[in-house]
Structures are given as C-alpha cells and as structure tokens.
Structure 1
C-alpha cells in the first residue's frame, strides 16, 4: 500500500503552501496542479528538495494536467482569480465558477471517491457550484472558511490575553465574509468562557477584526492576500479527514434543515472524519445569533442565485 494521495489544485501562494504543509506531514503523496506551465513542477521540485533538511520523504509531483491526480483521497481546490481593482462581483463569480466547474469535473472523473475541500472565493457559492457539477454526496464537498476565521479570532484573543493560541477555542459560523457570525459564547480559554476574561468592548473589537481579517492582510500586502493561515486551515481539514479524527470544525456545507436552514451552503460546526462531513452539530443559539445566521444564509442564497444565472 502506497501513501494516500492528496491533490492540490492551484499552485499560487495558497496552493503552493498547502502542498508544502502536506509534504511536511510525511504521510501523503502530493500532486500539485496548475495551468501555468512550469510553476507546479518548479514548486514541487523545491518542496521535495527541502525534504532531506526538514526530515520528510513525501513524493510531490507538479503537473499541468489531471492524469496524475487519479485515485486522490482528498482534493483541495484553491484555483481561481482574486478580485482585481474595478472588477465587479459578478465578473469574479462567473470567472471562478467556470474554473471550479472544470476543475471539479476533471477531478471527479478520475477520483470518484474523492472528498473536495474548496478554498476558492466567493467560498460558499463555489461549494454550491461544486455540488451542482460533481454529483457527489454533500458529505464529500466542504468549504474551508470557518477554520480560518476561527483561527484569526483565536490568534487575536491569545494576543490580547497573552496566552498560547492553541489554548483558545472559538467557533465562527455563517458565510465567509462580512456576514460571518462569530460565537463569543462558545469561545473559551482553557475551558473558561472568554467573556469572564475580557470586557465586552474588547471582545466586540476582536469580533470586528476577525470579520475584516482577510481585508486587513490584503490592505497590508497591497498585492495578493493571506496564504499562511488559509493553507494551515485547509491542511487541518485534510488531516481531520485522513486521520478520521471526528473533530468538530466549522465548515461550509449544505444545510438541509439544520439551524432552520433549508438547501443552502453555509458555515456550521461539522464533525469531520474519513467520510468527510459526517454530521452537522447543532449548537444552541440565542435569537440574536440565529438571526445573524439567517442574514448570512440569505446573503449566500443571493450569491448562489447569481452564480446560477451567470453560468446557466
């Protein structure tokens, strides 16, 4: 038995770093796919050459096609274009929907048992597109957003309280973006509710900064967007699946009645194991939290309707 194969589509900053983090686990064969000739091959070679120094012997292959991806257990899809200045939301939607559509079709035809993790933005709408074209059960199509948003919130809380980041647990629901719903009531430091450890104003400030987390980094970098934390979050999901961890992580999946949400892809707590999204875990929400989640779900519904219109 060889190692399980993980495919990463898109060899930009997020995809390249995801492939690197997976190689460093020393448990997987990694295939890095990109349409730009030479880029996935070059990055794969670079990652392999770091192996003797970093202590791993993972096989990493870069390719411009999909033959090498056959038999993948999980595929992380990062391909797509970032939103450029002056570009309308509809243009971004239509372009990335087209990219995701073709990527998913190529992957599923060669790896019928694959579990897809989408990273391409607008995230929730891309999960919707992948569902539509793949024909896969909903448990095998997940969007990476909540793990990243929670990580940002955890990092800000850890810095404010001067505690180790891993000691902070947080849960962020909803769509990825302006309508995300952080849950301070379910946010703890070594088991203690964060509300006992900081003022409401400080916490509100952190919630706002979490919501603007991606934009803050884009503003600082000027060209490009975050990739260290997004790749770490995607790999966390891959590991939860491949190691059958049954951990509860916030992911964008199709809701069919959970949280009162029907037929919409939105970020919710999900128990993740070897078969993907094994169960949506329902937290008790206050009326205010539920209302915020409804607003978020409606924003995603509008996006999905726009995608359907643009790609019909």
Structure 2
C-alpha cells in the first residue's frame, strides 16, 4: 500500500490483541511515544523499553513530568536509550529521525462520553503531531491510538498527504485479535473467522457476544467509575502493534495484523482487516474474507456510520 523506497509516512491505530514480542536479531530503530505521560503512554513506554528491537525511545508530552518519566525508565537494564521531551518547543527534537511514532495523546473518555465528544480536542492534537512527523521524520510509520480513531486516521492521512506530496501513501491500521472496524458503533468481530476456530450456532449467544465485544471499551470506562478509560490493555495493544511493525521493517516474513487502513476493500475509504507487514510497511491487504449472513448485516449497518466518521476527519483536515 506504500513503498518504503519512497520513504513514506505510515499511519496505524491500536486495539486489543495478544502476541509475544520478537526476540530475533535486532536493527536500530527509534520509536517515539507522543502522549507519553498519560494513562496509556506510560505503560506503553514501559513495554517498549523492554522491546529488543527498540534502540532509541523518545517520550513526548506537554506535561512537565515527561523528562522524569524518561529518567525513571532509564533505570531499567534494557538497551534502549530513553529521552524525554516536553512542550511544543521540544516536539521536533523528539520526532526527528523516528522510524515509528505511536500516538496515545489526547483526552480519554469518561462515563457518558461518546467518541464524538472527544473529537474537537483530539483532532487538533493528531493534526499537529502529523505535521511534525511529516516535517521531521518523513520515513516514519505513524501509529494512532487516539479516539475517535475512525476520524483520527483520515485526519493524519490528509495532513500528511498535503505535506509530503507524491511521497506519502497512507497506511492506517487498528490492531485487533479478530477483525472489525474500530469504534464502538462500527466495530464487530468476525467470529466465523476466529483463530482458533469457535463453533457458535446459537444466534442469541452470537448476538450477545458481538454486543459485548462492541461495548468492551465502555465496560472499562464504567468499571473505573470516572477514573479513566481502557489504558493498560490499550498500552499492550500499542506495544504489540509497534513490535509487529518493527518485525516487518527488519525483514521478518509473514507478519500479519488487523489494521484500519486506507483501502478499496469496501465502499469506505478506510477499513479494518488483516494486512501483511514487511519492509514496505503494509505489503499486502488480505481483505476481510467471506462473511456469514449475520456478519453481512452488521457490515451493512456499520458502513453509513463509518462513512460519516471518515468524512468528519477529512473535512477537519481540509479546513
């Protein structure tokens, strides 16, 4: 979907999943966590500090505590060098020369809030970070965790396209152990394609499980009773996705993740499905496979909302 020869920026976004980190031969990679002092950012940085593929870990946030987070992590006996950068004046230094930039920055959801409630604040953050990536690390892969991700990814795509004309081909993704469009009202899991396979025939149970998966984020928000949203699970998901991207960049074959990417697999310009990661970023889009009748109806219902989310992001970026 994009050529590493042209050194484009890549955009990806994370959801929950489970997979062991790579311990194979190392290359020198710089990874940036933008929003490193937050509820997702700190545990994400902790996990990335342990990844043998990361040799430089740059932490960026507007919070004054950010250099302290870097000093804290630097006491870990793992090889990655950690630097801390705070405030807009230090953003360029943090981003410069990065291979992967992971963005957990933004306002988290609180009880009663929808992802749309987060849009205005978080859209501006993603826009500004995307501009800095385009200017300071045009070879980087940009991984977005910030909600609402259905709109954040198109924003980054539009901004980067403006800055890196003819070099940028957007690759946007959402990590998931099974595939679905990433957002509560547009997310569904392809239970018929689960690995290992599960045999579900009771339509009531299938419906209940699907709805439980769709509401997983809300479940965490409610359980934390005003204390935040999903942070630890999202940090792990972001670390897993970053690891998979790095495995692909260093030449490992058959690295497959679910990713919310710009594609033509559906009528929506962005869609989540399995992709193959490699030296060229997303080397192959695997599509979403054959859906059963229940899943086809879910897709039909999700598309209008997804199209609306995408347009919201694109319109914001064009202003």
Give the TM-score of the pair, scaled to structure 1. 0.80
Instruction: Report the Cα offset of residue 204 of structure 1.
Output: 3.9
Higher helix share: 1
2:309 pairs with one of 298, 303, 306: 303
In structure 2, relative to structure 1, the CA distance for the partners of 1:91 and 1:213 (3 Å cut) is closer
**Distance across 2 between alignment mates of 1:89 and 1:289:** 23
**1:275 matched to which residue of 2?**
280
In structure 2, relative to structure 1, the CA distance for the partners of 1:133 and 1:46 (3 Å cut) is same
**2:171 matched to which residue of 1?**
141
**Distance across 1 between alignment mates of 2:213 and 2:68:** 34
Per-residue Cα deviation, 1:141-191 (whole angstroms, up to 9, x for no partner): 3233x42xx3xxxxxxxxxxxxxxxxxxxx2222321221211111133xx
**Distance across 1 between alignment mates of 2:31 and 2:169:** 18
**Structural RMSD (CA):** 2.5
**Distance across 1 between alignment mates of 2:191 and 2:112:** 35
SS at match of 2:186: coil
**2:240 matched to which residue of 1?**
236
Q: Does the CA-based 8 Å contact 1:138-1:254 persist in structure 2?
A: no
1:286 pairs with one of 287, 292, 302: 292
2:259 pairs with one of 251, 258, 283: 251
Instruction: Report the Cα offset of residue 299 of structure 1.
Output: 0.9
Q: Does the CA-based 8 Å contact 1:77-1:119 persist in structure 2?
A: yes
**Distance across 1 between alignment mates of 2:285 and 2:205:** 30
**1:163 matched to which residue of 2?**
none
**Distance across 2 between alignment mates of 1:101 and 1:173:** 25
Q: Does the CA-based 8 Å contact 2:41-2:104 persist in structure 1?
A: yes
Q: Does the CA-based 8 Å contact 1:265-1:297 persist in structure 2?
A: no
* Bigger shift: residues 101-110 or 287-296: 287-296
**1:34 matched to which residue of 2?**
61
Give the TM-score of the pair, scaled to structure 2. 0.78
**Distance across 1 between alignment mates of 2:232 and 2:114:** 27
**Distance across 1 between alignment mates of 2:35 and 2:213:** 26
Q: Does the CA-based 8 Å contact 1:32-1:60 persist in structure 2?
A: yes
Unpaired runs of at least 5, structure 2: 1-25
Larger relative contact order, structure 1 or 2 (CA cutoff 8 Å, min sep 6): 2
1:214 pairs with one of 214, 217, 220: 217
Instruction: Report the Cα offset of residue 240 of structure 1.
Output: 1.4
Q: Does the CA-based 8 Å contact 1:10-1:33 persist in structure 2?
A: yes
Per-residue Cα deviation, 1:95-147 (whole angstroms, up to 9, x for no partner): 21111100110122110111111100000110000000012677653233x42
Per-residue Cα deviation, 1:3-26 (whole angstroms, up to 9, x for no partner): 210011002111111111111113
**Distance across 2 between alignment mates of 1:3 and 1:203:** 45
**Distance across 1 between alignment mates of 2:301 and 2:202:** 26
Instruction: Report the Cα offset of residue 76 of structure 1.
Output: 0.6
Instruction: Report the Cα offset of residue 205 of structure 1.
Output: 3.3
Q: Does the CA-based 8 Å contact 2:186-2:306 persist in structure 1?
A: no
Matches within 5 A, 1:146-157: 146-147=175-176, 150=177
**Distance across 2 between alignment mates of 1:43 and 1:14:** 13
